[in-house]
Amino acid sequence: MSEKKIKKSKDRCTLQEILDVIGGKWAMSIIYALFPGKKRFSELERMIPGINTRMLVKELKNMEENQIVTREVFATVPPTVEYTLTEKGKKLEPIINELYKWGVEYVG
Amino acid sequence: MSEKKIKKSKDRCTLQEILDVIGGKWAMSIIYALFPGKKRFSELERMIPGINTRMLVKELKNMEENQIVTREVFATVPPTVEYTLTEKGKKLEPIINELYKWGVEYVG
């Protein structure tokens, strides 16, 4: 058996941890929407078809906890909330772009 | 606003379709486990910590429907079932490896 790649428990846990961070139904779509630059909550909501407000709040909170995005609140009326990718989040750009290319070729 | 990357509805649907195929909680772990070559059901179950039989059956069925894996049944007693990545599935190897490297650096 050639199970070398994931024979170590540490390796396996790492992959599972990664998926906890970005493997959710919406996380990659949100990251993808943030590649061009910061976005307001309402912009993200418009950009991601099928997501609802509750899910977007939940995913962004999770991504903030995992240091994928930063959240800035501006004291406008009503308050403006903006999300930006962190360095850690930006490093996903080439990977998600490759995944997207794969999808265009094989799924879309 | 620089929303060019996902402004087209077609693009957005494609990303969502990709995530339907490989964005599940276990799909990438299963694909990762299959990179070195075909595996029996019981081997996959051992290789992926935290997955249960029902979830593995469900994910593999979904992946078979999406032409990510092929399933072969051998008439042994008890029957042996082996899973192999398709060409489409194998193309994910560099992408998932990059994702894994990202995780080791930023998550693990």
Closest CA of chain A from B4, distance in Å:
8
Q: What confidence score (pLDDT) does residue A68 get?
A: 94
Closest alpha carbon to A32 in A81, A77, A95: A95
Question: What is the band of B8 on the pLDDT scale with cuts at 50, 70, 90?
Answer: very low
| Predicted confidence (pLDDT) at residue A11 exceeds the cutoff of 70 | no
Closest CA of chain B from A105, distance in Å:
9
Q: What confidence score (pLDDT) does residue A10 get?
A: 53
How confident is the model over A71-81, as pLDDT tens digits? 999 999 999 99
**Between chains, do B37 and A10 touch, taking CB under 8 Å as contact?**
no
How confident is the model over B35-94, as pLDDT tens digits? 999 999 999 999 988 899 999 999 999 999 999 999 999 999 999 999 999 999 999 999
Q: Which of residues 19-58 of A touch B (CB under 8 A)?
A: 19, 21-25, 28-29, 32-33, 35-37, 43, 47-50
**Which of A99, A101, A104, A105 to probe by mutation at the B interface, max B CB count within 10 Å?**
A99
Question: pLDDT over 90 for what percent of chain A?
Answer: 56
- Of B5, B32, B102, which has the smallest distance from its Cβ to A92's Cβ? B102
**Of the segments A2-11, A12-21, A73-82, which one has the largest average pLDDT value?**
A73-82
Closest alpha carbon to A40 in A73, A75, A12: A73
How confident is the model over B16-43, as pLDDT tens digits? 778 778 877 788 889 999 999 999 999 9
| Predicted confidence (pLDDT) at residue A12 exceeds the cutoff of 80 | no
CB B29 within 8 A of CB B44: no
Question: What is the band of A107 on the pLDDT scale with cuts at 50, 70, 90?
Answer: confident
Residue A11's H or E segment, with its range, is helix A9-22
CB B22 within 8 A of CB A106: no
Contacts of B43 in chain A (CB under 8 A): 1, 3
Domains and CATH numbers, chain B: 27-106 (1.10.10.10)
Q: Which residue has the higher pLDDT, B5 or A23?
A: A23
B91 → chain A, closest CA residue: A102
Closest alpha carbon to A31 in B93, B67, B102, B89: B102
| DSSP 8-state symbol, B6 | G
Residue B72's H or E segment, with its range, is strand B69-74
**Between chains, do B92 and A102 touch, taking CB under 8 Å as contact?**
yes
| Predicted confidence (pLDDT) at residue A3 exceeds the cutoff of 80 | no
- The residues facing B63 across adjacent strands are none
User: Rounded to a whole number, what is the largest CA-CA distance in chain A?
Assistant: 62
Question: What is the band of B108 on the pLDDT scale with cuts at 50, 70, 90?
Answer: low
Is B21 exposed, middle or buried (CB count within 10 Å of its CB: 0-12, 13-18, 19+)?
buried
B17 touches chain A (CB under 8 A): yes
